Amino acid sequence: MNAEKKGRQPERFSTNWIVFLLITLVAVMVASAVLIRGRVDGGGGSGQVMTAGIGGGTSHFSNIDITDDLTVGDDTVIAGYLRVSASTTFSVTSGGTITPTGTYMPLESAATVGCGDIITGTAGDRLVLINTCSNTITISDTGSLKLQGNRALGQYDVLELWSDGTYWLETTFVDSAGNDLTVADDLTVADVATVAGLSAGYITGTVSGTIPDWTVSDDLTVTDDAVIGGLARISGQTAISCTNGGYITPTGSYQPLESAGNVGLSSIATGTAGDLLVLVNTVNTTITITDTGTTMLGGNRALGQYDSLLLWCDGTNWIELSQVNN
């Protein structure tokens, strides 16, 4: 009987071993599922806790370090700062080529140098070059660079470029020491722009070059000749409705008039010395400008439709220059 028990013992040992292996396998599978669902491993065992699964829906992570390219197929929303890490400072040599390693690219040089070229990036790349040393580094407008001219970067000056895949295109240049700002395209200011170079409403320096359209919303004083290559265009004001014996206040040099019937004006509000005023009757009535008060005419002027009267102000009086019956 003892021999029979001994003969069955290996069979019972084998069954227990199989059960142990099955229990161990189930435990490993459960632990793996928990690990995948509860932690993203950064590759070195120091991954960050994730509060939701990797599947559909919204996942929340703490810090994530990505060691290769990250492609986002939809919008990227950043609640805090957008922080670009600085690359290792690049030492520029005279006539040499800069090889950027990141968007924020500090530069230095052992002496005053001129850069020959910059290795072309990928379309959409942004490159910010900052000279961190006291020597001047000139970025030449040659090769893969499309600038507004050679850019001499003093210490802490900034040149921002954008790549179209073939060229580096200038977007902004800032002379930090001289406070000069050059913008290669349109500049939109959403609030008041305070410029230290403007004093008492005047530009203290000299402005040269070609300016496309320029709109001045307040007075413009020209202390030298004003040369106009095209038409001298005076904007028409809103027509003033005249009443008999009434008083008009012009709002601009070209001042249309209208009336419900034939009327005579008693006076015109005095302007500033040098003002020119063109009065035109725009309706089929007669508006008479009387030669009284501060209106110095060659006689009463009856303006029919489209007739005009040109006046000049000496600071006190409106003096007639011409009157035309059209």
- Tens-digit pLDDT profile for residues 257-296: 999 999 999 899 998 999 999 999 999 999 999 999 889 9
Verify that 176 and 255 share a domain, yes or no: no
| 280 part of a folded domain | yes
Q: Residue 147: give its domain's CATH number.
A: 2.60.120
| 124 part of a folded domain | yes
Verify that 179 and 251 share a domain, yes or no: no
pLDDT at residue 47 above 60?
A: no
| 162 part of a folded domain | yes
Among 159, 183, 207, the domain-final residue is 183
Q: Which domain holds residue 94?
A: 90-183
| 292 part of a folded domain | yes
Q: How many domains does the chain have?
A: 2
Structure confidence at residue 136 (pLDDT): 93
Structure confidence at residue 197 (pLDDT): 46
Average pLDDT along the chain: 78
| 29 part of a folded domain | no
CA dist 75 → 13, 70, 245 (Å): 61, 13, 67
Instruction: Answer yes or no: are the C-beta atoms of 297 and 321 closer than 8 Å.
Output: no
Among 183, 218, 252, the domain-final residue is 183
Length of the chain: 326
- Full-model pTM: 0.43
- Tens-digit pLDDT profile for residues 137-149: 999 998 889 888 8
| 23 part of a folded domain | no
Structure confidence at residue 31 (pLDDT): 58
Mean pLDDT within 151-168: 90
d(CA 58, CA 56): 7
CA dist 153 → 105, 138, 156, 182, 220 (Å): 13, 6, 8, 13, 34
| 219 part of a folded domain | no
Verify that 254 and 174 share a domain, yes or no: no
**248 token code pair:** 């008009």
Work out the burial of residue 282: count CB atoms within 10 Å of its CB; fewer than 13 is exposed, 13-18 middle, 19 or more buried: middle
Among 144, 166, 183, the domain-final residue is 183
| 193 part of a folded domain | no
